[in-house]
Amino acid sequence: MNDRRDSTQPNLRAVRAVSTPPRFLFWWVVGLFVLFVLAAIACFLIFRDSGRLVSLVQPVLITIAIAAAYTWLLSIRFRRELPRHMSLWLVGGYIVLLGIGIFAGISFYRNNLPPRYQAELITPLPFLGAFLPPTPIGGTLPTVVATAGGRSAQDLLLGLGGSPTAEATATVMPPSPTAPVTSTPLATQETSEPTATTLPTATLPPTQAAVVPTLQTVVNEVVSQPAFSLPATHFNGGFRHFRQTWNNCGPANIAQALSYYGWQGDQEDAAALLKPDREDKNVSPSELVRFVNTQSAVRALTRIGGTLDMLKAFIAGGFPVVVEVGGAIYEGEDWIGHYRTLVGYDDASGVFLVYDSWLGNGEGNGIPVPYTDLEATWQPFNRIFIVVYEPQRESQVVSILGDLADVTRANELALETAREEALANPQDPFAWYNIGTALTRLGRYDEAVLAFDEATRNRLPFRMAWYQFYNFEAFFNMGRYSDVMSLVNSNLNNGGIYVEETHYWQGRVLEQQGDIAGARAAFQRALSHNNQFADAQTALAELPNA
């Protein structure tokens, strides 16, 4: 029996040895588990506070470094129990894993990561910019080839200022039998009934919600603009500054303007209705105006063709003004659009004081922007502005607007200004685009398309199609569907896939070409990016049943 018992002892030891994991493996698994749990908690807390993916770069890199160092130290500690050169094998394994991780990470970054996170990560990791899809050659919109014969943009330039001639009207007609598609007039947009649920925090004290005549009534009562004696300097305090989140300068700036009147909401409240899709590249001035008029007790209007003196007059009168500008506004960036809130000016220094939702507010005193810089960056957007005012002060707003109080006259004056700029510099793409914009707003599509063609031939930045859609409208109404689709495809291939208007105009062309199913899908894509987009809602509802 002793021999039998003794013979079982080696087998029991063998079983015990097989069932017990090596100490290296045990401590490696336990240590990495604890490390990754702590790292996950830290990353969650950091992201919750900052809301920015870029804030996770440092903790993730630190976690990876600690995990690699911990594994290597364990291999040294238990080297007697491990195969020879195990530490070298681990180093080689980590190098292989690092290569696989870099390849997979870059692929995910390029193809799957939302654009707002792509842009954030470029700041700490600039090399990632090389892996993004290339922008159009030269960074411009597709150029339209000039047609032989017929009217040219130069001919148009010399003949601007009046209505289309009878000959032009007779010879240039839309080939489509359908009625022209036009943007909703601004005056109508500014007085439209609310279509969205009012936010509980987006209201002013009831005492400021006085009922006043409509803007057009006040316009009719104001005969002419009085002479203004502007102070040499003026500053309006009482604004809250909002540091914008991704592509959120529109909601952030309108929230800043509303804060002047005691509005308690913030940029997220505004964005919830203005851009339900966080990737949306643009919120138009008319959308911002509609938001103010339906979600607060104050009012807003927008016009093109503003002047620096008009901006000063609004500031001196105590009115918040938001302007849309475009250019290489930020260091390291190419041409891009942006909103700014004007809070003051100083003639002695020749500057406007702005609350910039990206650059800051100058510690509450406003960031100085030279008059010349504002003028240069304001021109690409046809000097458009938004003024926010209390209803009972509407007559003062109209007095400052003068001729611009009338929407049609504002368009005509903007046309005259753009014409003068194009005459002075025929290679200025923005002057030509502004001519096309004003003509489109006046319904003169046959002339507008000539100006838009000249704008693209003079290298119009491709991002212009993210922000303004008058060329889409003019080309469509002249039956130039291939040119509309060229603009659509430029957006689809260069970040504009998140711009709802891209899909809307794609749907309009597909509808005209008889592709009802494709049009329906396009309108639905537009609404998936912005379910408040009234034009897409209407277009979708009016499609015939297939």
Helix crossing, 500-512 with 516-529: angle to 10°? 170
Same domain, 246 and 351: yes
Sign of CA dihedral 104, 110, 115, 119: positive
Number of domains, the chain: 3
* Of 403, 421, 447, the domain-final residue: 403
Q: Flag whether 327 is in a domain.
A: yes
Same domain, 457 and 399: no
pLDDT in tens, 202-239: 333 333 333 333 555 444 444 344 456 899 999 999 99
Between CA 212 and CA 222, with CA 218 as vertex, the angle to 5 degrees is 145
How many CB atoms are located within 10 Å of the residue 35 CB? 14
Q: Flag whether 257 is in a domain.
A: yes
Please tell me the distance from the alpha carbon of residue 402 to that of residue 418, in angstroms, as a whole number. Answer: 19
**Mean pLDDT value across residues 402-423:** 96
Same domain, 38 and 125: yes
Q: What is the pLDDT of residue 364?
A: 94
CATH code where residue 371 lies: 3.90.70.10
Mean pLDDT estimate for the chain: 81
pLDDT in tens, 419-432: 999 999 999 999 99
Same domain, 362 and 254: yes
Quick check: 394 pLDDT over 50? Answer: yes
* Of 131, 146, 164, the domain-final residue: 131
Do 342 and 361 form a contact (C-beta atoms < 8 A)?
no
Same domain, 174 and 192: no
Give the distance from CA 59 to its chain's centroid: 29
Q: Flag whether 146 is in a domain.
A: yes
Quick check: 506 pLDDT over 80? Answer: yes
Quick check: 451 pLDDT over 50? Answer: yes
Q: What is the pLDDT of residue 224?
A: 43
Q: What is the pLDDT of residue 218?
A: 46
Quick check: 136 pLDDT over 90? Answer: no
**Where are the extended beta strands (E) located within 276-434?**
299-303, 321-327, 336-346, 351-355, 367-370, 385-389
Q: Flag whether 5 is in a domain.
A: no
Same domain, 251 and 393: yes
Of the ranges 85-94, 242-251, 354-363, which one carries the lowest mean pLDDT score?
85-94
Same domain, 200 and 155: no
Please tell me the distance from the alpha carbon of residue 7 to that of residue 346, in angstroms, as a whole number. Answer: 101
Do 524 and 540 form a contact (C-beta atoms < 8 A)?
yes
pLDDT in tens, 316-352: 999 999 999 998 876 556 889 999 999 999 999 999 9
Please tell me the distance from the alpha carbon of residue 118 to that of residue 384, in angstroms, as a whole number. Answer: 30
Quick check: 456 pLDDT over 50? Answer: yes
> Residue 117: which pLDDT band, with cuts at 50, 70 and 90?
low
Q: Flag whether 105 is in a domain.
A: yes
Same domain, 259 and 286: yes
Quick check: 108 pLDDT over 80? Answer: no
Quick check: 4 pLDDT over 80? Answer: no
Output the six-digit token pair for 543. 């499609």
Q: What is the pLDDT of residue 184?
A: 42
Same domain, 105 and 200: no
> Residue 114: which pLDDT band, with cuts at 50, 70 and 90?
low
Q: What is the pLDDT of residue 24?
A: 78
Output 417 or 281, whichever has higher pLDDT.
Answer: 417
Share of the chain above pLDDT 90, in %: 52
Output 86 or 292, whichever has higher pLDDT.
Answer: 292
Count of positions (residues) in the chain:
546
Quick check: 379 pLDDT over 90? Answer: yes
**Mean pLDDT value across residues 290-313:** 96
Same domain, 361 and 246: yes
- Determine the structural domain holding residue 291 and report its residue range: 186-216+228-403
Q: Flag whether 1 is in a domain.
A: no
Q: Flag whether 103 is in a domain.
A: yes
Q: Which of 514, 462, 536, 461 is nearest to 492 (CA)?
A: 462
Of the ranges 105-109, 351-355, 503-507, which one carries the lowest mean pLDDT score?
105-109
Same domain, 176 and 127: no
Do 429 and 242 form a contact (C-beta atoms < 8 A)?
no
Q: What is the pLDDT of residue 428?
A: 96
Q: What is the pLDDT of residue 192?
A: 36
The residue behind tokens 């914009």 is 437
Quick check: 124 pLDDT over 60? Answer: yes
Q: Flag whether 513 is in a domain.
A: no
Q: What's the whole-model pTM score?
A: 0.74
Q: What is the pLDDT of residue 531?
A: 92
Output 486 or 88, whichever has higher pLDDT.
Answer: 486
pLDDT in tens, 180-199: 444 443 334 333 332 333 33
pLDDT in tens, 155-179: 666 654 444 433 333 333 333 334 4
Output 258 or 32, whichever has higher pLDDT.
Answer: 258
Same domain, 346 and 446: no
**Mean pLDDT value across residues 117-125:** 65
* Paired residues of 303 in beta bridges: 385
Q: What is the pLDDT of residue 75?
A: 79
Q: What residues contact 185, with CB distance under 8 A and at least 6 apart?
A: 407
CATH code where residue 174 lies: 1.25.40
Q: What is the pLDDT of residue 201?
A: 35
